[in-house]
């Protein structure tokens, strides 16, 4: 047994020396799970990790499982630190993407960009890499194994398998922001100084925009005195500096999340974020779209979460609040657990227009008929919970345009509706009418609260004289829960002149008074008394003055 073990050690040593003699050529990376639904974007990367050139590549064979790939036509050596790509397809055929069209500039030629010129023309040869598990082996001319590369699970879509270091044996999924690093140092290979700008989060916030950046020290030394520099990229391609964020000292292997709030004009702005140049510049830059003070262009305005009876289709209404048409292509709708594409082709929503997204367009129109307005059936639908859920609307850039969270449904085909009143457009309540108001202005009643009775009158002096200024006064009411509410207006003599609500079980978010009596007559100048009562709990009286 001892003698046998000793022989095995000698053989292993010979193989290691043989590999070294052939220049340290390794299988360094493989794109196994192609991006999207592509079927011709697989590739394998070779790398010379030695300080001397390799032998001519025609002296090597690559085996994918039990399928050999011969390099008879590749009569050159790889120089120290040089990469070489073997791809399934180099140039696109028809609409099928290929290596040059996806990782190059899609010109149909190789070598006409700085990146392409930095690599030899990839070797184009048919092969197939299995997703769940597989092995690639590189042999020299004597049939000895030079490098092995294997995986035993499916990677994320569009992410390659990388060797952590060319001289090592561990293989992981790429963490590069593009999913792979063909012709570059692998994303997981340690370098000396490497501050990675890995992700940006765009969060619209009441007209401002919060930008959150994830940074990781992927190097081997402490990052100090670094900043994230930001500039807005204009339509002409020029950049305008907009600020910077200081990065605290960051130890190797650690990450942090930096947040800063900015004010941008318009709907969308193009932003470029960078960190200082270091030993791996590939992860030093992010370009992205941020939101401006006009965002969001589309909002959620009504939700039918609990259809009953003949209405068997849930639906969500959206509205274009912006000044120009908005293309709905590749927008998403869904809940907290998942999202579905609304439509994958062009669909414009004009300013001031509504659109209903129906779970089932056929049943929706069958129920509403001519009341249906404009509607479509999205490509997928996340079923809404009757007892509470979150509805999310995501734009084409992956930014959350709007959300609405409800705790309970109403039943009986009442909807959740958003107040269309400018006083509080973020106020939601139950639809005033059964079946809601698809593609029409909402009329809602609001759920009482436990904070007591509060009444706001704006303006409390108004002039309903026909000149278009202060023609009405808005009465906003917050009230505790009770069975009945009364809202009435009396003159100074205590005579009832106008009833806005009488023994109602729900309240509207805002009531308007135009200075007229219940009979429609214009009332004289003077002081009037608004009386609001949550019957059996609390009441309030407030003056309203008609002026000229």
**CATH number of the domain encompassing residue 311:** 2.60.40
In sequence order, what DSSP letters do the residues of 378-393 get, joined into one string? -S---PPPTT-EEEEE
Q: What are phi and psi of 133, to 5 degrees?
A: -160, 155
pLDDT at position 264: 95
Shared-domain flag, residues 368 and 398: yes
Q: Does the residue 186 lie in any domain?
A: no
CA angle 196, 202, 204 (to 5 degrees): 160
Q: Does the residue 57 lie in any domain?
A: yes
Residue 452 binned pLDDT confidence (cut-offs 50, 70, 90) = confident
Residue 478 binned pLDDT confidence (cut-offs 50, 70, 90) = confident
Q: Does the residue 179 lie in any domain?
A: no
Average per-residue pLDDT for the chain: 90
Mean pLDDT for the stretch of residues 383-399 = 94
Mean pLDDT for the stretch of residues 395-417 = 92
Q: Does residue 494 register a pLDDT over 50?
A: yes
Q: Does residue 45 register a pLDDT over 80?
A: yes
Q: Does the residue 187 lie in any domain?
A: no
Shared-domain flag, residues 208 and 161: no
Shared-domain flag, residues 165 and 222: no
pLDDT at position 422: 52
Q: Does the residue 88 lie in any domain?
A: yes
CA angle 416, 421, 426 (to 5 degrees): 55
- Sheet with 25-31, edge to edge strand ranges: 123-124, 83-87, 43-48, 25-31, 161-163, 171-173
* Counts of helices then strands in the chain (DSSP H, E): 4, 38
Residue carrying structure tokens 């006009």? 294
Shared-domain flag, residues 350 and 232: no
- Sheet with 444-445, edge to edge strand ranges: 375-376, 354-358, 315-320, 298-304, 416-418, 428-431, 444-445
Q: Is the dihedral of CA 187, 190, 193, 195 positive or negative?
A: positive
- Sheet with 461-462, edge to edge strand ranges: 461-462, 538-546, 526-534, 485-490, 496-504
> Encoding tokens for residue 228?
């994230």
Residue carrying structure tokens 């510049």? 281
Q: Does residue 425 register a pLDDT over 70?
A: no
User: Are 197 and 228 a contacting pair, CB within 8 Å?
Assistant: yes
Closest residue by Cα to residue 213 from 160, 250, 241, 266: 250
Q: Indicate the burial class of 362 (C-beta count within 10 angstroms; 0-12, 13-18, 19 or more).
A: exposed
Shared-domain flag, residues 421 and 459: no
Overall residue count recorded for the chain in this entry: 548
Shared-domain flag, residues 51 and 99: yes
In sequence order, what DSSP letters do the residues of 306-351 get, joined into one string? S--TT----EEEEEE-SSS-EE-TT-EEE-SS-EEES-SS--EE-T
pLDDT at position 449: 67
Q: Is the dihedral of CA 156, 160, 161, 165 positive or negative?
A: negative
CA of residue 30 relative to chain centroid, distance:
28
Task: Please indicate whether residue 302 or residue 480 has the higher confidence score (pLDDT).
Answer: 302
Q: How many domains does the chain have?
A: 4
Strand partners, 496: 490
Give all strands (DSSP E) within 94-221, no chain letters: 123-124, 134-139, 145-151, 161-163, 171-173, 195-205, 208-217
Q: Does residue 313 register a pLDDT over 60?
A: yes
% of the chain surpassing 90 pLDDT: 74
Shared-domain flag, residues 161 and 110: yes
Shared-domain flag, residues 307 and 272: no
User: Which residues, 6 or more positions from 534, have their beta carbon under 8 angstroms from its beta carbon?
Assistant: 448, 453, 479, 480, 482, 485
Shared-domain flag, residues 59 and 140: yes
Shared-domain flag, residues 479 and 505: yes
Shared-domain flag, residues 497 and 349: no
Residue 315 and residue 359: Cα distance in Å, rounded? 6
Mean pLDDT for the stretch of residues 491-512 = 89
Closest residue by Cα to residue 254 from 280, 224, 216: 216
Q: Does residue 206 register a pLDDT over 90?
A: no
User: Are 406 and 421 a contacting pair, CB within 8 Å?
Assistant: no
pLDDT at position 408: 82
pLDDT at position 164: 92
Q: Does residue 14 register a pLDDT over 60?
A: no
pLDDT tens for 136-175 read 999 998 889 999 999 999 999 999 999 999 988 999 999 9
Q: Indicate the burial class of 132 (C-beta count within 10 angstroms; 0-12, 13-18, 19 or more).
A: exposed
Residue 49 binned pLDDT confidence (cut-offs 50, 70, 90) = very high
Q: Does the residue 405 lie in any domain?
A: yes
End-of-domain residue from the set 235, 270, 291: 291
**CATH number of the domain encompassing residue 86:** 2.60.40.1260
> Encoding tokens for residue 272?
């470029």
Q: Does the residue 121 lie in any domain?
A: yes
User: Are 42 and 28 a contacting pair, CB within 8 Å?
Assistant: no
Q: Does residue 453 register a pLDDT over 50?
A: yes
Number of alpha carbons in the 13 Å side-chain half-sphere of residue 88: 20
Shared-domain flag, residues 36 and 96: yes
User: Are 163 and 27 a contacting pair, CB within 8 Å?
Assistant: yes
Residue 47 and residue 340: Cα distance in Å, rounded? 41
pLDDT at position 454: 86
User: Are 443 and 434 a contacting pair, CB within 8 Å?
Assistant: no
pLDDT tens for 174-201 read 999 899 999 999 999 989 999 999 999 9
Q: What are phi and psi of 195, to 5 degrees?
A: -95, 115
User: Which residues, 6 or more positions from 383, have their beta carbon under 8 angstroms from its beta carbon?
Assistant: 314, 359
pLDDT tens for 236-273 read 989 999 999 999 999 999 999 999 999 999 999 999 99
Task: Please indicate whether residue 447 or residue 432 has the higher confidence score (pLDDT).
Answer: 432
End-of-domain residue from the set 444, 474, 508: 444
Number of alpha carbons in the 13 Å side-chain half-sphere of residue 10: 6
**CATH number of the domain encompassing residue 277:** 2.60.40.10
pLDDT at position 421: 67
End-of-domain residue from the set 228, 259, 291: 291
Residue 330, phi-psi category: left (phi > 0), alpha (psi -120 to 50), beta (remainder): left
Residue 424 binned pLDDT confidence (cut-offs 50, 70, 90) = low
Q: Is the omega angle on the peptide bond into residue 459 within 30 degrees of 0, that is, cis?
A: yes
Q: Does the residue 178 lie in any domain?
A: no
Task: Please indicate whether residue 275 or residue 483 has the higher confidence score (pLDDT).
Answer: 275
% of the chain surpassing 70 pLDDT: 94
The residue range of the domain holding 364 is: 298-444
């Amino acid at each position: 047994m001892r003698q046998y073990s000793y022989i095995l050690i000698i053989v292993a040593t010979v193989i290691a020396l043989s590999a070294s003699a052939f220049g340290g050529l390794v299988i360094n990376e493989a794109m196994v799970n192609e991006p999207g639904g592509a079927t011709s974007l697989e590739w394998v990367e070779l790398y010379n990790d030695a300080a001397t050139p390799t032998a001519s590549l025609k002296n090597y064979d690559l085996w994918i499982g039990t399928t050999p790939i011969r390099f008879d036509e590749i009569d050159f050596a790889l120089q120290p630190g040089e990469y070489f790509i073997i791809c399934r397809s180099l140039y696109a055929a028809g609409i099928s993407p290929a290596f040059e069209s996806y990782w190059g500039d899609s010109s149909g030629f190789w070598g006409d960009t700085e990146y392409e010129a930095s690599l030899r023309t990839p070797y184009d040869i048919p092969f197939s890499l299995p997703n769940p598990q597989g092995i690639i082996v590189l042999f020299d001319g004597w049939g000895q194994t030079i490098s092995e590369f294997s995986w035993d699970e499916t990677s994320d879509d569009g992410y390659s398998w990388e060797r952590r270091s060319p001289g090592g044996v561990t293989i992981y999924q790429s963490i590069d922001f593009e999913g792979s690093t063909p012709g570059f140092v692998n994303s997981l290979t340690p370098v000396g100084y490497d501050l990675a700008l890995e992700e940006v989060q765009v969060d619209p916030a009441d007209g401002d925009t919060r930008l959150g950046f994830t940074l990781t020290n992927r190097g081997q030394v402490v990052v100090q005195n670094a900043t994230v520099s930001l500039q807005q990229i204009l339509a002409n391609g020029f950049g305008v500096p907009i600020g910077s964020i200081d990065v605290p000292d960051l130890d190797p292997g650690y990450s942090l999340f930096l947040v800063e709030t900015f004010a941008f004009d318009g709907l969308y702005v193009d932003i470029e974020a960078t960190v200082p140049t270091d030993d791996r510049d590939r992860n030093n830059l992010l370009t992205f779209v941020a939101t401006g003070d006009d965002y969001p262009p589309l909002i959620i305005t009504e939700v039918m979460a609990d259809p009953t009876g003949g209405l068997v289709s849930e639906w969500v209404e959206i509205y274009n609040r912006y000044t120009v048409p908005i293309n709905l292509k590749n927008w998403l709708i869904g809940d907290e657990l998942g999202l579905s594409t609304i439509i994958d082709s062009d669909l414009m929503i004009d300013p001031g227009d509504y659109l209903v997204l129906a779970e089932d367009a056929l049943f929706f129109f069958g129920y509403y008929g001519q009341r249906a307005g404009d509607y479509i059936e999205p490509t997928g639908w996340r079923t809404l919970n009757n007892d509470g859920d979150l509805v999310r609307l995501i734009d084409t850039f992956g930014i959350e345009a709007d959300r609405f969270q409800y705790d309970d449904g109403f039943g009986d085909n009442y909807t959740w509706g958003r107040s269309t009143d400018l006083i509080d457009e973020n106020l939601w309540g139950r639809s005033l009418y059964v079946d809601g108001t698809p593609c029409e202005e909402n009329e809602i009643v609001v759920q009482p609260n436990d904070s007591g009775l509060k009444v706001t009158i704006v303006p409390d002096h108004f002039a309903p004289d026909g000149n278009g200024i202060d023609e009405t006064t808005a009465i906003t009411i917050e009230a505790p829960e009770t069975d009945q509410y009364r809202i009435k207006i009396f003159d100074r003599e205590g005579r009832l002149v106008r009833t806005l609500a009488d023994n109602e079980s729900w309240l509207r978010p805002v009531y308007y008074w135009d200075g007229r009596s219940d009979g429609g007559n214009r009332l004289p100048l003077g002081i009037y008394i608004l009386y609001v009562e949550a019957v059996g709990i609390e009441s309030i009286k407030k003056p309203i003055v008609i002026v000229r």
